[in-house]
Amino acid sequence: MSSVWFTYLLRCADNSLYAGVTTDLARRIHEHNYNDRLAAKYTRVRRPVTLVYAEQYENRKAACQREYQVRKLNKAKKEQLIEQFTEHKLLP
């Protein structure tokens, strides 16, 4: 099965950042904001969340490896990623 995977960062209501992977960004953000069963425990209590960064990968393994790298970054480095991302107007 060939599908596109995304590594993403969400900004939570408390200004914290959450990293994740998905094949459908719109569905996953909706789940984080509105679905108590499917949302991550972390984001459930920090709503609303907004997408601030995303990268596309060919498979789950690559997306998960990148998520691991992003999670290890300190907040300042994550903010730099977000700033570069939004400067290139990659988000709608």
Structural domain spans, the chain: 5-87
Query: What b/e sequence results for 40-74 when a residue is b if at least 16 CB atoms lie within 10 Å of its CB, and e otherwise?
Result: eeebeebeebebbbebebeeeeebeebbeebeeee
Q: Over the stretch 3-53, which tens digit does the pLDDT of each residue have? A: 899 999 999 999 999 999 999 999 999 999 999 999 999 999 999 999 999
With contact defined as beta carbons under 8 Å apart, do 58 and 51 qualify?
A: no
Q: How many CB atoms sit inside 10 A of residue 78's CB?
A: 18
Which helix (H) or strand (E) covers residue 62, if one does? helix 60-72
Of 61, 52, 50, residue with least CA distance to 21: 61
Mean pLDDT, to the nearest integer, of 63-78? 98
pLDDT-derived band at 59 (thresholds 50, 70, 90) equals very high
* The CATH homologous superfamily of the domain defined by 5-87: GIY-YIG endonuclease (3.40.1440.10)
pLDDT-derived band at 86 (thresholds 50, 70, 90) equals confident
Of 42, 8, 43, residue with least CA distance to 23: 8
Q: Could you tell me the pTM of the whole model?
A: 0.91
